[in-house]
Amino acid sequence: MANSKYEYVKSFEVEDEVMFPNLIVVRIGGRDFCRFSEFHEFEKPNDERALNLMNSCAAAVLEEYPDIVFSYGFSDEYSFIFKRTSKFYQRRASKMMSLIVSFFTSTYVIKWKDFFPQKKLRYPPSFHARVISCATLEVLQAYLAWRQNDCHIYNQYNTCFWMLVKCGKAEKEAQEILQGTKKQERNELLFQQFGINYRKLPDMFRQGSCVFKTEVEVIVKYSENGTPIKRLRRKPTVVHSENISGRRFWNGHSSLLN
Ligand code: ATP
Ligand code: ATP
Ligand code: MG
Ligand code: MG
Ligand code: MG
């Protein structure tokens, strides 16, 4: 109750405001998704349905919280970037990340059946979250470069690993073959042993996914004679792009960070 003699304990709450002008990023990630993906028989190395489910949850987050201007994800993780001037929950890190991660998680559970109509969700998935405070745009760019580089490295490694396993190697054996190999060697292994040109794999697997709002035509209503009436609306859109930290990408989307 307000103004009770117990209220002093409120002052013991951890203060965690991310100061302006730092840019706020919230990253969520699946907890123990190695197990979750096995349990739910995800296709390896990339289950497209699971990735589309993640993208759809990210789009729902952007619809729910207009202060988020950009997001990037791959595998079981997603990073959400708030606009520079955001005052969302007084910029308190714990409020922001708990809202995003719980909304993302409940959306994941609700949407599961749309992406896996034949597969029952067998236990409640959980996601962890953290806040990254980027002092400058350059730091944000380095952050995005880091996440996209991890996407690339994991995807390339996992593609090799699962090709070896599918061709009869034991998991331990496949691990040993790949140990210490460099990017170039892994590309060669894919091409020479399996005829796979890494660059030809789907963009979503190699580059991850961006979700941000773009103007799209939507039908708002129908006129009396049944003609659809369309208007431009800002809607979350999924985009795959080679270098999301590069000048070229941000020149095309500079309005996102105003
Ligand atoms: P932690 O709790 O530390 O995050 P984790 O088991 O989730 O542990 P990660 O490093 O996050 O470990 O790895 C995610 C796991 O989920 C990987 O094993 C990855 O292959 C699997 N995974 C996630 N998304 C997919 C997908 N779309 N298709 C196939 N496997 C996936
Ligand atoms: P905030 O986002 O700041 O938490 P809030 O709307 O959740 O805002 P609270 O002070 O947390 O505000 O109040 C919770 C609200 O939910 C109250 O209006 C309360 O009456 C309602 N509520 C919660 N649980 C129940 C319940 N079991 N039965 C009826 N009403 C409930
Ligand atoms: Mg994980
Ligand atoms: Mg992960
Ligand atoms: Mg409440």
Does 243 reside within a domain?
A: no
Residues 6+ apart with CB under 8 A from 125: 30, 31, 33, 36, 105, 108, 109
SS3 (DSSP) at 179: coil
The alpha helices in 79-221, defined as continuous H runs, are 93-115, 137-166, 171-178, 183-194, 203-207
Does 116 reside within a domain?
A: yes
Ligand 1 site-directed mutation target among 37, 55, 101, 158, most atoms within 8 Å of CB: 37
The kind and range of the H/E element at 211 are strand 209-222
Does 57 reside within a domain?
A: yes
Does 257 reside within a domain?
A: no
Structural contact between residues 75 and 68, judged by C-beta atoms closer than 8 angstroms: no
Does 85 reside within a domain?
A: yes
Q: Which domain holds residue 43?
A: 14-151
Does 208 reside within a domain?
A: no
Task: Check the annotation: does 98 bind a ligand.
Answer: no
Domains: count for the chain: 1
Residues lower than pLDDT 70 in the chain: 1, 255-258
Location of structure tokens 């079981």: 76
Q: Is 48 in the pocket of ligand 1 (CB under 6 A)?
A: no
Does 66 reside within a domain?
A: yes
Does 51 reside within a domain?
A: yes
Check which CATH number belongs to the domain holding 28 and give it: 3.30.70.3000
Q: Is 34 in the pocket of ligand 1 (CB under 6 A)?
A: yes
Instruction: Count other C-beta atoms under 10 Å from residue 97's C-beta.
Output: 21
Of ligand 1's atoms, which has the minimum distance to the CA of residue 49? 27
Residues 6+ apart with CB under 8 A from 101: 26, 28, 127, 128, 129
- The closest residue, in CA terms, to atom 24 on ligand 1 is 75
ipTM above 0.85, yes or no: yes
Distance CA 21, CA 24 (A): 9
Between helix 93-115 and helix 48-64 the angle, nearest 10°, is 130
